[in-house]
Chains A and B, each alone.
Chain A
Amino acid sequence: MTQNQGQILVVDDNRLNRIKLAHGLEQQGHIVALAKNGQQALDMLRQQSFDLVLLDIVMPEMNGYQVLEHVKGDEALRDIPVIVISALDEMESVVRCIEMGAEDYLAKPFDPVLLRARIGASLEKKRLRDQEQAYLEELRTERERSERLLLNILPKPIADRLKQGEGIIADSFEEVTVLFADLVGFTPLSAPMSPTALVFLLNGIFSTFDRMTEQYGVEKIKTIGDAYMVVGGVPTPRPDHAEAIAEMALDMQSTLDQFRVDGDKPLHMRIGIHTGPVVAGVIGTVKFSYDLWGDTVTTASRMESHGLSDHIQVTSATYERLRDKYRFERRGVIEVKGKGKMTTYFLVGRKGS
């Protein structure tokens, strides 16, 4: 079918008009269906697809206005163009139909040249509208896909700001809680495994942690090899950032027991936590990610690296915020690289549990 030929529904109670229109339209290469009344027209419109409707106004039972009202009120039908057929002395009715959404009109008796021109123009407009709809749909799908990808690497408020044109994002946070977790001796343990099996295991563990971040409302920053970094109170500040991270740490620790290396060997983890100010944001232009900067990050990392296997080591800053609700064991004063002497604690559980 060429682009200017279409499937046309002729709705007219007058047999003479139907015969004439059907003939004229078929001569012009269109495929024509005929309806004797409004109800039949609506039934046909709902059963098969049409490119154009030629609609008579004066009909018994359901007249042209009612058909038009149904068509324009129906999500699935409203885009089908309707050309109203009318006698020359019915201009008022034509105006009413056009106000109701009809595309054009044809005066009776029909002028074959005008018939061809109006139908050709309507079908062309319909074709362009259909094409535009298809493009818009494609565009929407593409946008959704890129949106999903962006939200995988950036928190939503940050993604929104970047989209609005902010080049560099660097926000200061007065107080957040940062957690580092490291799988102890993971490399030697996993030596007998194939690289693929290793990544598969790591993916299982970290995906479990990822789901926890959603549960506790904390932000995963990144994984570094077999280490996992997460923060509470960023990018949306919350007063209970330390509690959220403590809950996450305890859950991570107990969940690790579900995983085994090489069939039966259990895994061990060191967790370190510190509370303090950070700068959070996005810098660079390619392969950018949301990251944290500041001494708080270094200290949290040291708590992990200077910690003990299967223990959650926290600084006194974190301990002070959590001591009322959680149980701790005082580790004592340790020498921390680049920091000097620090008093640290081990988080062992919730109070009353």
Chain B
Amino acid sequence: MAERTQADANDKHLPSPACPDVLDPAALKNLRQLAAGDVGLLTQLIDTFLEDAPQLLAEIRRAVEDEDAPALHRAAHTLKSNSAEFGATALSDLCRELETMAQANALDEAADRLAQAESESEKATGALKVMRYSL
């Protein structure tokens, strides 16, 4: 229980999500609880996401263009998981759709979902950058 109290106290030092529409507050609360006031860790996690997300999107684009279902499955799976960590629900949902398409090897609508994912990723990374610099 001490942990919870500490996490609540930490909320005072950590900013609220910059863009509530993009990042789900519940997921962010979880992250803060895990970090337990460790600003360095939060920064490291955000930086890792900001570095990896564009690479994963590029991997998804390449896989969609090459119709490489296994590669698409893995990259979409990872980005789905990472975006869910920060409460980027819209991006995570799109990645899940891409993952499912890859599993079913039905890539007809993949390019369309990819375009949406790229746009959602812009929003999520923007919100996370704001959050990172206000830590």
Q: Which residues from chain A sit less than 8 Å from chain B, CB to CB? A: 13-17, 19-20, 23-24, 27, 58-60, 87, 89, 108-113
Contact = CB atoms under 8 A, between A and B. Distances in A.
Interface stretch (B60-68, B73-81, B120-128): B73-81
B49 A16 contact: yes
Size band of the interface chain B makes with A = 20 to 34
B115 interface: no
A112 B30 contact: yes
A110 B34 contact: yes
Nearest to A85: B81
5 contacts: A14-B81, A16-B81, A58-B73, A109-B81, A112-B33
Nearest to B70: A60
Contact of B84 (A23, A27, A87): A87
A58 B34 contact: no
Nearest to A115: B34
A236 B53 CA distance: 80
Contacts of A59: 74
A58 B38 CA distance: 29
A112 B30 CA distance: 8
Contacts of B30: 109-112
A16 B84 contact: no
A109 B85 contact: yes
B34 A24 contact: yes
Nearest to B74: A60
A59 B44 CA distance: 23
A89 to B, nearest CB: 6
Contact of B80 (A13, A23, A87): A87
B74 A23 contact: no
Given A110-B34, A111-B30, A112-B33, A19 B78 contact: no
Given A60-B74, A87-B81, A89-B96, A16 B27 contact: no
Contacts of A87: 77, 80-81, 84
B82 interface: yes
B36 interface: yes
B39 interface: no
Given A24-B34, A58-B73, A110-B34, A17 B96 contact: no
B101 interface: no
A311 B41 CA distance: 96
A226 to B, nearest CB: 81
Given A58-B74, A60-B74, A19 B48 contact: yes
Contacts of B31: 109
B52 interface: yes
A110 B44 CA distance: 17
Given A16-B81, A16-B85, A109-B31, 20 more contacts: A14-B78, A15-B52, A16-B48, A16-B52, A16-B82, A17-B81, A17-B82, A19-B48, A20-B34, A20-B45, A23-B34, A24-B34, A27-B36, A58-B77, A58-B78, A87-B77, A108-B81, A108-B85, A109-B30, A110-B34
A24 B36 CA distance: 10
Nearest to B41: A23
